[in-house]
Amino acid sequence: MNVIADVCIVPVGSGVSVSKEVAACVKLLREANLNARTHGYGTNLEGDWDDVFSAIKRCHELLHASGTVRISTTIRAGTRIDKDQTVQDKIDKVAE
């Protein structure tokens, strides 16, 4: 089953700037062969349900392995079975 997810992974207690940690997660998500589109407050992911959630888990594992003690993640996920739809399809539809 395919899913479109919006994910915001926030390392807690790492200091004011978390760009290094976020960049490491974004790199991992892109290497997972998922369609990943980063925006100001998170990343949109498209792919198979298990692949998407496995990649999110790997982000947590990566950050914990690099010393981040606590991580707060917000995930919004949507699936549909009536037709295939991408994040770009959704953006284009709103822009019509």
Per-residue confidence band for 73, with pLDDT thresholds at 50, 70 and 90: very high
CATH number at residue 90: 3.30.70.930
Q: Which domain holds residue 44?
A: 2-95
Q: How many domains does the chain have?
A: 1
In angstroms, the CA 34 to CA 54 distance is 11
Q: What is the model's pTM? A: 0.89
Check residue 18 and give its pLDDT: 87
Q: What is the mean pLDDT of residues 62-67?
A: 96
Contacts of 9 (CB under 8 A, 6+ apart): 22, 25, 42, 56, 59, 60, 63, 71, 72, 73
Whether 14 shows a pLDDT value over 80: the answer reads no
Confidence of residue 16 (pLDDT cuts 50, 70, 90): confident
| Side-chain-facing half-sphere of 81: CA atoms under 13 Å | 1
